[in-house]
Structure 1
């Protein structure tokens, strides 16, 4: 591994960490609401680096109009502006098309790639190609059990199994007997892990309910029917 790659990797890791702050704020924003989380991400823009310009691709599995990912993107843009980075953001909920977006970033010879591994197996080949091209890659949001195996530089996100277990225990405290765990994207490893965590600690019955998260009327009717 040459010195140029090591230097680029270190700086990219710092930039990625700054952008990941938005992911943490958003993921933990249940107490204060989305508006507060959005305001907090705006604070990341204070100051500006005078380091050499970098080009970083952020590639997620977000569906159009997903407000969760709108906040993540806003935080990444704030971090990019602060750290003198040209951010190239793209997304596609179809894992094969998301992998193609990684290839596009490789072809653009970006300095780093931040990618979600909602469906790790589908991304494995594209990530390997990026690493072979000497482009450091970090993961976020999904893929906590796969990022090391795939050779990523860092991972930013929470262990959804632990989150699910904590919620299962909370349901027990509330005296719940029957739980529906909604998964808005089938095959998403983090969402599956979260519901598995609930089932592990919850003493009642847990049923996974799969919905199409990009179609809110359908989501509402499916959940209503199940209830």
Structure 2
């Protein structure tokens, strides 16, 4: 559902507003009804999705499936791209290449704004509608991103910590499987803070 909303938002962003009609001009004759658009006809849009997670990963494979399903539902062409590993230099290069190809829209995750910010700003400055997903809720607006589809990271971790503390847990682990992913840092920080408020302790494994 999230990926469908993401593509729907960016399709709307690509659509040009209707030209105003002067009240001084006579109304144009009513056009003949157009033939119903075929449900199989592709729309002339090409989007690129660049994420920091690979489609082979159990989590990101679900995201990739969502991208494919949304592309089919919206009848648009979408390319899903990701670096071979969690690599911000390689991801920035993918975004730069995407911008150079002049797509109709770009969807990105933003695990590290310091590493990806220049590339994302370049897309915005080139007039390409950009929407972020998964990570980057705290920096999307300042980078010029139109909208973010995802959760607020600190609050998500904090909520998890509250629920675990309420379940009676006094010692917990927070696993950060991608060192350098600011979103995971924020989640673990929120989790740790909520647990600490309940008198519990957290060890972060990275």
> How far does residue 52 in structure 1 lie from its aligned partner after superposition?
3.5
Rg larger in structure: 2
Is the contact between residue 81 and residue 94 of structure 2 (CA under 8 Å) also seen in structure 1?
yes
Aligned residue for 1:134?
127
Deviations 1:138-170 (A, max 9, x none): 100111110000000110001121221112112
Aligned residue for 1:167?
160
CA distance in 2, matches of 1:96, 1:200: 31
Aligned residue for 1:158?
151
Counterparts of 1:81-160 in structure 2, within 5 Å, are 81-92=72-83, 93-160=86-153
SS, match of residue 143 in structure 2: coil
CA distance in 1, matches of 2:93, 2:87: 10
Is the contact between residue 49 and residue 83 of structure 1 (CA under 8 Å) also seen in structure 2?
no
Q: TM-score, normalised by structure 2?
A: 0.77
Task: Name the Cα RMSD after superposition.
Answer: 2.2
List runs of 5+ in structure 2 lacking aligned partners: 1-5, 13-37
CA distance in 1, matches of 2:11, 2:73: 9
Aligned residue for 1:13?
9
SS, match of residue 149 in structure 1: helix
Is the contact between residue 12 and residue 112 of structure 1 (CA under 8 Å) also seen in structure 2?
no
CA distance in 1, matches of 2:145, 2:68: 22
Counterparts of 1:200-215 in structure 2, within 5 Å, are 200-202=193-195, 203-210=199-206
Is the contact between residue 91 and residue 98 of structure 1 (CA under 8 Å) also seen in structure 2?
yes
After TM superposition, the runs of 4+ consecutive aligned structure 1 residues lying more than 4 A away are 47-51
